[in-house]
Amino acid sequence: MDDETKSSAEVTGPERLRPTIRDVARHAGVSIGTVSKALNKGGNLALETRERIIAVAKELGFRPNSLAQSLHRKQSFTVGLISTDSFGRFTMPIMEGLEECLTDRRMQVFMCNATDDPALEAQHVESLLGKRVDGLVVTARRADKRPPIGPLAHGLPIVYVFSHADDPDALSLLPDDEGGAVLAVQHLAELGRKRIAHITGPEHFEAVRLRRAGYFSALAAARLPRDDAYYLPGVWSEAWGREAVARLLDGRVQSPDALFCGNDQIARGAADALRERGLDVPSDVAIVGFDNWDVMTLAARPPLTSIDMNLKALGREAGERLIDMISGEKLGGLQRRPCSLVVRESTGR
């Protein structure tokens, strides 16, 4: 007798603990094909027969082989998520939104971290393809351009979210960094601030260049003077926020009455530096950050007004677009989604 024809009573070891479709058929007194039709809601079975088979499967603790089912229906109901964000600062809210969307469709997400290593990314892609995922979501810790996923995944639906594929045919969903900067400066201008400085990160980041463009365009729209001495690119850190404030206050320019910071870490450092010099936030200097990272915004003194990139909503949209692509819809191109302003005490809520 070969393994295929063994009954559950003849199987020993771990296999014995896991009931098979043969066990369900034997206990229900029907064929394996009938069990398959009942559990997959197919075929023309009497309602009484279908319910009896389902009850037997439940009593035995039988779980269908998901891989076998996926081969049968040519869909695994799984999606791969590849990220380079080892800290999860940007990936986790995207993942949360993605899972919210896909769970409603009974789809699962396999997450892999490639840490900016092309060889590791290729290895993850190969592994996910081996699991027969229905599509891929690619995200990162920065929205700069990156090479598209390699030829291994050719033909597989792929959505890049908070990640910009260097391929005009690829679908890339990004926050509107320039629009977010406009929101920040408009808010400060509407509060009556006249001397708005911009402290930000390294200019080789596309997001920095886009936010700079939004900063200058919003100043022009508000009829506020442009002073290049108020624009200070640097690094993404609280230390840079403190150093930049010292440069502004100790330099030859008139002290600013507002700061638009390229991220919340810079903004928190700037708030600390102003307080140490006896200046009040927001009475003397109002501050707006970027990212709306609650670890920073809520712990700052005072809590920071910040631009939210709405990453969770971006993750949900990535899931919706991926489902559309799995269904056969052709989607592509770069799409930017609006940011929003979250007002707190640093601008005088």
Domain count of the fold of the chain: 3
Q: Give me the helix-helix angle, 32-39 and 21-28, nearest 10°.
A: 100
Final residue belonging to a domain, choices 11, 44, 64? 64
What CATH number did the domain enclosing 234 receive? Answer: 3.40.50.2300
Q: Kindly report, residue by residue over 253-282, the tens digit of the pLDDT.
A: 899 999 999 999 999 999 999 999 999 999
pLDDT number for residue 38: 83
Task: For residues 31 and 155, state if they share a domain.
Answer: no
Mean of per-residue pLDDT scores for the chain:
88
Which of these, 283, 254, 289, 251, lies nearest to 270 by C-alpha position? 289
Does residue 171 contact residue 332 with C-beta atoms inside 8 Å? yes
CATH number at 32 reads 1.10.260.40
Q: Which residue has the higher pLDDT, 207 or 73?
A: 207
- 8 A C-beta contact, residue 343 and residue 305: yes
Residue 217 belongs to some domain of the structure: yes
In a domain, 225, yes or no: yes
pLDDT of residue 3: 38
My answer on whether 131 and 13 are in the same domain is no
Predicted local distance difference test score (pLDDT) of residue 13? 43
Q: Residue 174 pairs with which residues in a beta bridge?
A: 336
If asked whether residues 153 and 56 sit together in one domain, one would say: no
Q: Name the nearest CA neighbour of 118 among 85, 71, 156, 150.
A: 150
Final residue belonging to a domain, choices 14, 41, 64: 64
The whole-angstrom separation of Cα 112 and Cα 81 is 6
18 strand-pairing partners: none
CA 342 to chain centroid, in Å, comes to 19
On whether both 241 and 208 belong to a single domain, the answer is yes
Q: Cβ distance 182 to 216 under 8 Å?
A: no
Weakest mean pLDDT among 114-123, 216-225, 330-339: 114-123
Within this chain, do residues 240 and 302 fall inside the same structural domain, yes or no? yes
Neighbouring C-beta atoms of residue 295, cutoff 10 Å: 12
Q: How many helices (H) and strands (E) does the chain have?
A: 12, 14
Same-domain pairing of 37 and 80 = no
| pLDDT tens column, 69-98 | 444 455 678 899 999 887 778 999 999 999
Q: Which domain holds residue 217?
A: 177-309+342-347
Q: Is 322 found in the same domain as 281?
A: no
pTM: 0.78
